[in-house]
């Protein structure tokens, strides 16, 4: 069994395992999965997870609840925002795979001038949440950031996302500010 700590050391290159290993297998609660880099053929599965996993914790859904569909269903907007990162930062995107199926992903944006990695989108398929996949994706992201020489990481979560507010501080993130989102019909 590979513990999350072991994944961290392997992906960060602090082990004998090559830093660019194709994937590292781990055993979460009730689920055996591998974290590896995103491949173009993962796109449909990643977008499907984006569409189904963010219910209740998505700004576009909040807008739709208040104003009705804005151009398209909120899930399409979420997919678009994830697709933007798949197109622009494919090599900084990681996926979790169980039984040959993508069960989670994390999209990252890199700002070398600020030595900063921005975690833009993170999601685990609803049926596999709470099994350690999200934590493993974040640990692998930290390892990726360190490997490419970054010193800082950033992530945002909505106040209504109780899970995120517990999860991110547990990874070492410190709250640095809150923002209020406004929207109006013109």
- Give the residues lining the site for ligand COA (CB under 6 A): 53-54, 57, 122-124, 129-135, 157, 161-164, 166-167, 170
Q: Between residues 28 and 110, which has the closer beta carbon with respect to ligand COA?
A: 28
Q: Between residues 78 and 146, which has the closer beta carbon with respect to ligand COA?
A: 78
3-class secondary structure, 128: helix
User: How near is the Cβ of 133 to ligand COA at its closest, in Å?
Assistant: 4
Sheet bearing 24-28, strands edge to edge: 24-28, 31-37, 94-98, 101-111, 116-124, 152-155
Q: Between residues 15 and 61, which has the closer beta carbon with respect to ligand COA?
A: 61
Q: Between residues 114 and 166, which has the closer beta carbon with respect to ligand COA?
A: 166
Q: Between residues 5 and 185, which has the closer beta carbon with respect to ligand COA?
A: 5
Contact between 133 and 103 under an 8 Å Cβ cutoff? The reply is yes
Task: Calculate Rg over the CA atoms of the chain.
Answer: 17
DSSP state letters, 50-101: HHHH-TTS-HHHHHHHHH--BSB-HHHHHHHHHHHHHHH-GGG-EEEEETTE
- Of the candidates 123, 180, 128, the residue with the CA atom closest to the CA atom of residue 155: 123
Q: Between residues 12 and 141, which has the closer beta carbon with respect to ligand COA?
A: 141
- Tokens 């994937």 sit at which residue? 23
Work out the number of other CB atoms within 10 angstroms of the CB of residue 113.
6
């Amino acid at each position: 069994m590979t513990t999350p700590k072991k994944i961290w050391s392997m992906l960060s290159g602090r082990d004998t395992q090559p830093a660019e290993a194709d994937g590292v297998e781990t055993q979460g609660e009730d689920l055996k999965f591998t974290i590896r880099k995103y491949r173009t053929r993962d796109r449909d599965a990643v977008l499907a997870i984006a569409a189904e996993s963010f219910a209740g914790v998505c700004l576009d859904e909040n807008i739709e609840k208040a104003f009705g569909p804005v151009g398209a269903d909120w899930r399409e907007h979420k997919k678009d925002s994830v697709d933007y990162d798949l197109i622009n930062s494919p090599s900084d995107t990681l996926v979790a795979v169980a039984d040959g199926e993508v069960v989670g992903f994390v999209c990252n944006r890199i700002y070398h001038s600020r030595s900063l990695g921005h975690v833009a989108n993170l999601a685990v398929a609803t049926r596999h949440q709470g099994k350690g996949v999200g934590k493993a994706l974040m640990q692998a992201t930290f390892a990726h950031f360190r490997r490419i020489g970054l010193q800082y990481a950033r992530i945002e979560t909505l106040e209504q996302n109780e899970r995120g507010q517990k999860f991110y501080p547990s990874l070492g993130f410190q709250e640095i500010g809150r923002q209020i989102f406004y929207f109006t019909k013109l």
